[in-house]
């Protein structure tokens, strides 16, 4: 039961970070969003807000990595389609009001420890995508380069879609990324 409360709090913080950013994600907001009892805050996160945010960043990282697991062994084009589908779903479910919790922390934190958590998540995503793209038929250097471009482009496209309150920017970037992976895959 205690693990359930902690998990709810981490999930709630992750959602709030993705929607409102770091400064607007307070313990009070997390409690209101999750229905967790006030006493559970310092029980589960005795080091305060940064400890909760770090757990939320780690969870956000794991969510995307886990969502990519089902595509292992698929062609590079399918890997890119899956990655883009994950971000498209975030935008669609939130009506373009949520983005990436990891990015939210990266751009707003002044904590070296939180930035380190975000860096580790982005690195894990890059390594996982590189591995999937390589197994999907791309040479290692091309897989690594495309993995970095995918993350940077998708993150930027999500931000633009949130600003426009429209999927149009995301879809334009997605179309270009798909064209790029097709070209990379045909080049071998």
Domain boundaries of the chain, sorted by first residue? 2-187
Model pLDDT for residues 37-67, shown as the tens digit of each residue: 888 888 899 988 899 999 999 999 999 999 9
Predicted pLDDT at 156: 98
Residue written as tokens 């969003």? 33
Q: What angle do CA 154, 60, 86 make, to 5 degrees?
A: 40
Amino acid 186: pLDDT: 87
Count the neighbouring beta carbons within 10 Å of the beta carbon of residue 156: 14
pLDDT score for 32: 87
**pLDDT of residue 177 exceeding 60:** yes
Mean pLDDT value of segment 137-164: 97
Q: Are 105 and 17 in contact (CB under 8 A)?
A: yes
Mean of the per-residue pLDDT values of the chain: 94
Least confident of 39-43, 66-70, 169-173: 39-43
3-state secondary structure of 152: helix
Would you place residue 137 in the very low, low, confident or very high pLDDT band (cuts 50, 70, 90)? very high
CATH class as words, domain 2-187: mainly alpha
38 three-state secondary structure: coil
Nearest-angstrom CA–CA distance, 143 and 133: 5
DSSP-derived letter for residue 1 is: -
* Element holding 75 (H helix, E strand): none
Mean pLDDT score, 108-128: 97
Place of tokens 């205690």: 2
Q: Rounded to two decimals, what is the model's pTM?
A: 0.93
* Averaged pLDDT for residues 160-164: 97
pLDDT tens column, 83-99: 999 999 999 999 999 99
DSSP structural state of residue 165: T
């Amino acid at each position: 039961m205690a693990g359930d409360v902690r998990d709810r709090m981490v999930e709630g913080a992750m959602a709030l970070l993705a929607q409102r950013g770091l400064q607007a994600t307070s313990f009070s907001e997390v409690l209101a969003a999750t229905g967790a009892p006030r006493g559970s805050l310092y029980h589960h996160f005795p080091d305060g807000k940064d400890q909760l945010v770090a757990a939320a960043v780690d969870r956000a990282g794991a969510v995307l990595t886990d969502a990519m697991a089902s595509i292992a062994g698929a062609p590079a084009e399918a890997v890119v389609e899956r990655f883009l589908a994950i971000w498209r779903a975030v935008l669609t479910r939130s009506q373009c009001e949520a983005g990436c919790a990891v990015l939210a922390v990266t751009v707003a934190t002044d904590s070296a420890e939180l930035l380190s958590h975000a860096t580790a998540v982005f690195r894990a995503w890059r390594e996982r995508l590189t591995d999937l793209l390589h197994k999907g038929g791309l040479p290692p250097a091309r897989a690594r380069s495309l993995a970095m471009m995918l993350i940077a482009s998708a993150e930027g496209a999500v931000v633009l879609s949130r600003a426009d309150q429209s999927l149009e920017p995301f879809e334009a970037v997605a179309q270009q990324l798909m064209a790029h992976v097709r070209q990379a895959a045909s080049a071998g």
